[in-house]
Amino acid sequence: EIVLTQSPGTLSLSPGERATLSCRASQSVSSSNLVWYQQRPGQAPRLLIYGASSRATGIPDRFSGSGSGTDFTLTISRLETEDFAVYYCQLYDSSFSYTFGQGTKLEIK
């Protein structure tokens, strides 16, 4: 079973700053199967990035994803107040199972 480890656990930044969130897989994975979600307090998750680097419909271009192999990154170029939330990476295992990372909480400094 592949494990996804996200870091840091909590990231404290100010609006306007750049955020860099990491997701590391315990073994090499296909970037096609790596996804990022945003979850605001009291809300359901929202799809942000799929295929490691493709933005989902309606997602602002300040959100970008990158990476390959075992190391993936979600970058938010200029933080806005609505971006402070919890972010999860997710992997699709071709044996039809889905694994989530433990999440990174992005909080206002």
Partner 1 sequence: EVQLLESGGDLVQPGGSLRLSCAASGFTFSTFAIAWVRQAPEKGLEWVSIISGSGGIIYYADSVKGRFTISRDNSKNTVYLQMDNLRAEDTAVYYCAKGKASTRFDYWGQGTLVTVSS
**Which residues form the interface with partner 1 (CB under 8 A)?**
32-33, 35, 37, 39, 43-47, 50-51, 56-57, 88, 90, 92, 96-103
Check if the beta carbon of residue 19 is closer than 8 Å to that of residue 76.
yes
Backbone angles phi, psi at 80, to 5 degrees: -110, 165
Q: How far is the CB of 78 from partner 1 (least distance, A)?
A: 25
* Identity of the residue, 35 or 74, whose beta carbon is nearer to partner 1 in the bound complex: 35
The residue assigned the tokens 């990174």 is 104
Q: How far is the CB of 91 from partner 1 (least distance, A)?
A: 9
* Identity of the residue, 38 or 84, whose beta carbon is nearer to partner 1 in the bound complex: 38
Length of the chain: 109
Q: How far is the CB of 94 from partner 1 (least distance, A)?
A: 8
Q: How far is the CB of 16 from partner 1 (least distance, A)?
A: 28
Distance CA 85, CA 87 (A): 7
Which pair of structure tokens corresponds to residue 107? 């909080």
* Identity of the residue, 26 or 78, whose beta carbon is nearer to partner 1 in the bound complex: 26
* Identity of the residue, 19 or 89, whose beta carbon is nearer to partner 1 in the bound complex: 89
Check if the beta carbon of residue 78 is closer than 8 Å to that of residue 16.
yes
Number of H helices, E strands in the chain: 0, 10
